[in-house]
Structure 1
Amino acid sequence: MSTGTLPASARPGTGTGTGTGTGTVVIGLDLGGTKIAAALFGRDGTVLARHTRPTPARDGSAAVLDALAAAVASVDPDGSATALGIAAAGVVDPRTGMVTSATDSIRGWAGTALGAGLADRTGLPVACDNDVRATAGPELAALDGEHGSLLFAAVGTGVGGAVAVDGRMLHGAHGMAGHLGHLPSPEAAGLPCTCGSTGHLEVIASGPGITACYERLAGTSVDRLETVAARAARGDADAVRAITAGAAAVGRVLGGLANALGPDRVVVGGGVPRIGPLYGNALAAAFTAELMPPLRGLTPVAPLFGHDAAVLGAASLTTTLPLHHPGALR
Structure 2
Amino acid sequence: MSRTSSSAAENQVLAVIGSGRARSRREISAILNLSASTVSQHVQSLLAQGLISEGEVRGSTGGRRARELQLAGETDQLGVIDLGGGHARLAVLPRGGELGDSSEISVDLRDGAEAVLERCIAEIRSLASGQTLAGIGVALPGPVDPTTHGVVSPSRMPGWAGRDIAALIESLTGVPAVVENDANAMALGEHFARTPHANASVTVKAGTAVGSGIVIDGSVYRGAGGVAGDITHTRVAAAHQYPCSCGNFGCLETVASGAALVRLLQNEGVEVTTTQEVLTLVRDGHPRATALARSAGHHLGEVLCAVVNFFNPSAIYLGGSLSSLEPFVSALRSEIYEGSHPLMTRDLTIAPAALGADASLVGVSRQINEHLAQLTRG
TM-score (norm 1): 0.82
Which residue in the other structure is 1:272 paired with? 322
Unaligned runs of 5+ in 1: 1-8, 326-330
1:150 to 201, 206, 211: 201
Calculate percent identity across the aligned residue pairs.
Answer: 25
Secondary structure of 1:208's partner? helix
Contact residue 170 and residue 177 of structure 2 kept, 8 A? yes
For the structure 1 residues 229 and 252, does the alpha-carbon distance in structure 2 shift closer, same or farther, using more than 3 Å as the test?
farther
Higher helix proportion: 2
Q: How does 1:147-226 map to 2 (within 5 A)?
A: 148-216=199-267, 219-224=268-273, 226=277
Kindly name which structure, 1 or 2, has the bigger radius of gyration based on alpha carbons. 2
Which residue in the other structure is 2:302 paired with? 252
For the structure 1 residues 67 and 211, does the alpha-carbon distance in structure 2 shift closer, same or farther, using more than 3 Å as the test?
closer
For the structure 1 residues 214 and 115, does the alpha-carbon distance in structure 2 shift closer, same or farther, using more than 3 Å as the test?
same
Task: Tell me whether 1:53 sits opposite 2:53 in the alignment.
Answer: no
Which residue in the other structure is 2:178 paired with? 127
Letter in 2 for 1:171: R
Distance 2:101 2:172 in 1: 20
Contact residue 91 and residue 127 of structure 2 kept, 8 A? yes
Distance 1:95 1:202 in 2: 27
Q: 1:321: how far off? A: 5.4
Contact residue 12 and residue 319 of structure 1 kept, 8 A? yes
Letter in 1 for 2:341: M
Distance 2:141 2:300 in 1: 21
Report 1 or 2 for greater relative contact order, CA contacts < 8 Å, sequence distance ≥ 6. 1
Q: 1:322: how far off? A: 8.6
Q: 1:14: how far off? A: 3.1
Letter in 2 for 1:295: M
Q: How does 1:4-153 map to 2 (within 5 A)?
A: 13-14=19-20, 22-23=70-71, 24=74, 25-43=77-95, 45-47=97-99, 50-104=102-156, 106-144=157-195, 148-153=199-204
Distance 1:45 1:126 in 2: 17
Task: Tell me whether 1:284 sits opposite 2:290 in the alignment.
Answer: no
Letter in 2 for 1:14: G
Distance 2:127 2:323 in 1: 32
Which residue in the other structure is 1:308 paired with? 358
Letter in 2 for 1:57: L
Unaligned runs of 5+ in 2: 1-14, 23-31, 33-50, 53-69
Contact residue 185 and residue 201 of structure 1 kept, 8 A? yes
Q: 1:71: how far off? A: 2.7
Partner deviation per Cα, 1:243-297 (whole Å, 9 max, x = no partner): 22211011111121011111111011111122x3222211111111122121234
Question: What's the RMSD between the two structures over aligned residues?
Answer: 3.1
For the structure 1 residues 321 and 90, does the alpha-carbon distance in structure 2 shift closer, same or farther, using more than 3 Å as the test?
farther
Letter in 2 for 1:92: V
Q: 1:215: how far off? A: 4.9
Q: Which runs of 4+ in 1 moved over 6 A?
A: 322-325
Aligned residues: 310
Letter in 2 for 1:178: G
For the structure 1 residues 10 and 309, does the alpha-carbon distance in structure 2 shift closer, same or farther, using more than 3 Å as the test?
farther
Contact residue 186 and residue 203 of structure 2 kept, 8 A? no
Distance 1:280 1:120 in 2: 43
Distance 2:299 2:361 in 1: 29
Contact residue 155 and residue 271 of structure 1 kept, 8 A? yes
Q: 1:232: how far off? A: 8.6
